[in-house]
Amino acid sequence: MKKLTLFYFLAVLMFLTSCSGINTQKIHEDFEVHTLYSNISNVHLVRYYDSYFLVDAGIEGEEVRIENQLAALGVNGKDLKFILLTHGHTDHAGTSKYFKETYGIPIIVGEGDLPMLLSGKNDSLCATSFLGEITRLFVPAQYPPVEPDVVVSESINLKNYGVDGTIIPMKDHTEGSLILVLEKTAFVGDLLRGKAMAKNTPALIFYQCNLEENQKNVIKTLLFNCDMWFTGHFGPLKTSRIQSWLESKPYN
């Protein structure tokens, strides 16, 4: 038992130190995704033709790091059209208030997660493994409350922002979880994650209260026929690997 506990502890340490830096995926000439890896979660800077936006905003305290990474990519906060929050947990929405107040960036969130944004508090977290229980220690339960600018209750297109993508509500990890489908690419938040030691290998997210519903939503998202999924933790994941992972029956 002690050896097992030590293994998980070491795994968490590696989890917290293996994901710094920036990873760039060029989808095509006018579509790039720069993943700003951090110790806790991913922030995706997307360039789509002449529009820049963020998918998720990281944890409170990472504001300067994110600004520095944006600057390294030649982007200022004022260049961002919006921040899309895939859900309202502290590790994804923590810097939202700062970026909204500092740069006037509109915040987009799912309707079911509005209470989290307005209170700055996580909802209940159901760990899917002992490792999930351990990682809970590293994720704060609160962040600065923020009032979002766009609350999504049904699928919407982002053409008004110069982005020909669709935001789709998908109650899953949280009541108001959202995914974004942009051409053949999906941004799925905490629908799935990559493994800590193998970023591009699919795995169950650390916290999920309804695994049966999660499985259905993964299959539903596959129907959008995207080639690549950008996740909230580790990744990105190729669709072919997700399909193979599902065939291994991870939900049984």
pLDDT in tens, 179-208: 999 999 999 999 999 998 899 999 999 999
Instruction: Please give the mean pLDDT across all residues of the chain.
Output: 91
DSSP 3-state helix, strand, coil percentages of the chain (rounded to 5)?
35, 25, 40
Report residue 20's pLDDT band, with 50, 70 and 90 as the boundaries.
low
Per residue in 226-244, pLDDT (tens digit) is 999 999 999 999 999 999 9
24, β-bridge pairs: 34
Tell me how crowded residue 142 is: count the other CB atoms within 10 A of its CB.
12
The average pLDDT across 15-44 equals 84
pLDDT value of position 27: 97
Going by C-alpha positions, the residue among 138, 143, 228, 229 that lies closest to residue 191 is: 229
Query: What is the chain's alpha carbon radius of gyration, rounded to the nearest angstrom?
Result: 17
Claim: this prediction has a pTM higher than 0.95: no
Taken in order of first residue, the domains within the chain and their CATH numbers are 2-247 (3.60.15.10)
Looking at residue 133, its pLDDT comes to 86
Positive or negative, the CA dihedral 122, 128, 133, 137 is negative
What is the model's pLDDT at position 97?
98
